[in-house]
Amino acid sequence: MWVTVKVNSSVIVGECVAWDGSEYYHASSLATPLGVVIETPTLDDDTSEYYAPVQFAGIAWAKASRDIPNEGGELMVESGGVYVDNSADGAGIIAPLPRGQDPRASNDLVMIHIR
């Protein structure tokens, strides 16, 4: 499920965002509704605000903030990126490494499932 929402002008495709009281901005935790920017934000000429489609549930490609273990694991968020923390609260998962692909490093896009 995705929705076009107001975002901060600095967010990019693949970054996790959360509501900061005025717009969706880089997420730093799972404490607020979590989304992933799926297209480059565009400027609304009438309001001078940026908008982008953001995925709030289901499969998305998110930027890794750390190297991702091959087995994947529980989703955690920091500085707009995702990493594995198997003590997380179950808001989502990072998929295991698909057969034949290279290990996933920091800043790579990784498949996640947001619950």
DSSP secondary structure string for all residues of 64-99: BSS-B-TT-EEEEEETTEEEE-TTS-SSEEEPPPPT
pLDDT for residue 38: 98
Run of H or E residues at 60: strand 58-63
pLDDT for residue 91: 86
pLDDT for residue 31: 77
pLDDT for residue 88: 83
Structural domains in the chain plus CATH codes: 1-115 (2.40.300.10)
Return d(Cα 52, Cα 66) in angstroms, integer. Answer: 25
pLDDT for residue 30: 86
pLDDT for residue 103: 97
One-letter amino acid at 45 equals: D
pTM: 0.92
Per-residue pLDDT tens, the chain, 115 aa: give them. 899 999 999 999 999 999 999 999 999 988 778 999 999 999 999 999 999 999 999 999 999 999 999 999 999 999 999 999 999 877 899 999 999 999 999 999 999 999 8
